[in-house]
């Protein structure tokens, strides 16, 4: 038996030298995952994404490699991580969540395909030329947060009787948050509410913001942001301490103690992001893959939080909810 054939047989028995195994792994298509928050904060999203990849024939560490990088809610880390993924020569970059992560990836490369899973307004923020024809190296899914802003406030007013004064918690350094704030302000005016915006740019700004809003609001609308995702438990603890109901755009915030959320199903969006990655790894060009809109919207409420706040949720409202957490 030739030596090469003998080594091949040993490889089939799982006895390859480390160097040989590393060489094989290096040949796998590689996905670079730019996570905005932490692995635990984005756990359900990653699980949905990798599940869809498996369904399409891409098994992590067997038929595809995934390099995860986590910004931990720090916007300044996005460019650094994007540059690192470009240096690794990944085959596709997945901007895990948020407009800024996708923009950092696009600024880092015009050659490597980018799939964004969770962007509010990809056209308005300049990520793509149009939804139908993205035109560059980026495509993916929009979560339409600007389109659901008014609906969130309408729902919040149903649950908080006599709501008049609203606090808006926003990271104004995020361009998508700025776009969403415009929609929220219009909804506030249309609903006859008073609203005060409390700006947060760093984790250190969260506690002082809650000190400032005491006595000035009857509920809080938390404008979705990676910084808030990384600090969602802290935000909800402070809100409960101030006895203020919170409205969010994602289910994970309600799992972490928020009162309720309404918006596109984030898990569904990440599951569908797997389809984009599959097509790109098989040769499709991002420029020719239209940006898709959400098809599933979730209304989620946390009854335990409602009880702590002394809120009675109407049965008719509970019947409309997609999920009730107790």
Give 70-82 pLDDT, tens digit per residue.
998 888 899 999 9
DSSP 147-177: HHHHHHHHHHHHHSTT--EEEEEE-TTSHHH
Please choose, from the candidates 251, 294, 253, the residue with its C-alpha nearest in 3D space to the C-alpha of residue 271: 294
**Cα–Cα distance between 19 and 272 in angstroms, integer?**
35
Per-residue burial over 250-287, b if 16 or more Cβ lie within 10 Å, else e, is bbbbbbbbbbbbbbbbbbbbbbbbbbbbbbbbeeeebe
pLDDT given for residue 8 in this prediction = 42
Residue 5: pLDDT band (50, 70, 90) is very low
**Cα–Cα distance between 73 and 202 in angstroms, integer?**
9
Q: Sign of dihedral through CA atoms 225, 228, 233, 238?
A: negative
- Helix/strand/coil (H/E/C) assignment for every residue in 283-322: CCCHHHCCCECCCCEEEEEEHHHHHHHCCCCCHHHHHHCC
Identical topology for domains 3-143+266-295 and 145-264+298-325: yes
pTM of the predicted model, to two decimals? 0.80
Report, as an integer, the average pLDDT of 108-114: 97
pLDDT given for residue 16 in this prediction = 38
Please choose, from the candidates 118, 143, 138, 112, the residue with its C-alpha nearest in 3D space to the C-alpha of residue 127: 138
Q: Sign of dihedral through CA atoms 184, 168, 156, 252?
A: positive
**Cα–Cα distance between 4 and 2 in angstroms, integer?**
5
135-139, 196-200, 233-237: the lowest-pLDDT one: 196-200
Element (H, E) at 231: none
Do residues 223 and 263 touch, judged by C-beta distance below 8 A?
no
Average pLDDT in the chain? 89
Q: What are phi and psi of 206, to 5 degrees?
A: -65, -55
Position 19 pLDDT exceeds 70: no
User: Checking DSSP bridges between strand 30-35 and strand 138-142, what pairing results, if any?
Assistant: unpaired
Report, as an integer, the average pLDDT of 83-109: 94
How many Cα atoms within 13 Å fall on the side-chain side of residue 136?
Answer: 23
Q: Which two tokens stand for residue 57?
A: 């024939």
**Cα–Cα distance between 29 and 281 in angstroms, integer?**
7
Domain boundaries, the chain: 3-143+266-295, 145-264+298-325
Express as a percent the part of the chain with pLDDT over 70.
91
Residue 224: pLDDT band (50, 70, 90) is confident
Position 58 pLDDT exceeds 90: yes
Helices (H), the chain: 3-12, 18-26, 43-55, 77-87, 99-108, 145-159, 175-190, 206-213, 226-230, 232-241, 251-255, 266-281, 303-309, 315-320
Q: Which two tokens stand for residue 74?
A: 């720090």
Q: Name the DSSP class of 193.
A: -
Options 3.90.199.10, 3.40.50.300, 3.40.50.2300, 2.60.40.790; CATH of 145-264+298-325: 3.40.50.2300
**Cα–Cα distance between 69 and 28 in angstroms, integer?**
18
Within a 10 A sphere around the Cβ of 146, how many other Cβ atoms?
Answer: 18
Report, as an integer, the average pLDDT of 194-223: 93
| Beta partners for residue 194, in sequence order | 165
pLDDT given for residue 26 in this prediction = 56
Position 56 pLDDT exceeds 90: yes
pLDDT given for residue 23 in this prediction = 46
Q: What class, spelled out in words, does domain 3-143+266-295 have in CATH? A: alpha beta
- Altogether, the residues listed in the chain come to a count of 326
Place of tokens 């006599």: 162
Residue that wins the pLDDT comparison between 25 and 284: 284
Element (H, E) at 263: strand 260-264
């Amino acid at each position: 038996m030739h030596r090469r054939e003998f080594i091949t047989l040993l490889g089939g028995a799982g006895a390859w030298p480390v160097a040989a195994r590393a060489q094989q792994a290096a040949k796998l298509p590689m996905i670079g995952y730019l996570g905005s928050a932490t692995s635990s904060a984005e756990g359900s999203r990653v699980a949905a994404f990798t599940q869809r990849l498996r369904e399409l024939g891409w098994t992590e560490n067997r038929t595809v490699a995934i390099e995860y990088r986590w910004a931990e809610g720090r916007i300044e880390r996005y460019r650094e991580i994007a540059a690192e993924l470009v240096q690794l020569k990944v085959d596709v970059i997945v901007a895990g969540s948020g407009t800024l992560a996708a923009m950092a990836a696009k600024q880092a490369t015009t050659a490597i395909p980018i799939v964004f899973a969770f962007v509010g307004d990809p056209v308005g923020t300049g990520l793509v030329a149009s939804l139908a024809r993205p035109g560059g190296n980026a495509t993916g899914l929009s979560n339409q947060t600007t389109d659901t802003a008014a609906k969130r406030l309408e729902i919040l007013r149903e649950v908080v009787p006599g709501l008049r004064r609203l606090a808006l918690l926003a990271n104004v350094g995020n361009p998508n948050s700025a776009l969403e704030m415009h929609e929220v302000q219009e909804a506030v005016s249309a609903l006859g509410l008073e609203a005060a915006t409390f700006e947060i740019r760093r984790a250190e700004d969260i506690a002082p913001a809650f000190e400032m809003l005491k006595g000035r609001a009857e509920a809080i609308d938390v404008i979705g942001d990676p910084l808030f995702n990384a600090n969602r438990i802290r935000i909800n603890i402070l809100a409960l301490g101030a006895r203020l109901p919170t409205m969010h755009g994602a289910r994970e915030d309600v799992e972490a103690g928020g009162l309720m959320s309404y918006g596109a199903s984030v898990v569904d969006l990440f599951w569908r992001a797997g389809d984009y990655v599959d097509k790109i790894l098989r040769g499709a060009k991002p420029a020719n893959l239209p940006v898709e809109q959400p098809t599933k919207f979730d209304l989620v409420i946390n009854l335990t939080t409602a009880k702590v706040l002394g809120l009675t949720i109407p049965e008719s409202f509970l019947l409309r909810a997609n999920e009730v957490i107790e």
